[in-house]
Amino acid sequence: MKKCPYCFEEVREPVAKCPHCAQFVIDDFIESDYRSIDKKRCIFCGKNILAEAKVCKHCRKWINTVDDAIKDME
């Protein structure tokens, strides 16, 4: 499967714009054979996003550092 390099959500086809985070994909898609399950909480909107995500798919803001995100331990 391919994943968006920004929000790390699975995308079916190479698309110009990610359907999840609405970013225009100018970097290569990430090739992966498993779906991410680790989550963190967006520092802006507080919703759960994938731990690797650089862009929140809910509010579409860029998360610059992992340290800024609050790990969701639940």
What is the smallest separation between the CB atom of 33 and Zn ion, expressed in angstroms? Answer: 19
Give the one residue of 21, 50, 53, 69 binding Zn ion; rule: CB under 5 A: 21
Query: What are 17's strand-pairing partners?
Result: 24
Between CA 40 and CA 54 the distance in angstroms is: 11
42 near Zn ion, rule: CB under 5 A:
yes
Residue 44 contacts Zn ion per CB under 5 A: yes
The closest alpha carbon to 62, from 1, 12, 5, belongs to: 5
Judged by CB under 5 A, how many residues of this single chain contact Zn ion?
12
Contact residues for Zn ion (CB under 5 A)?
A: 4, 6-7, 18, 20-21, 42, 44-45, 56, 58-59
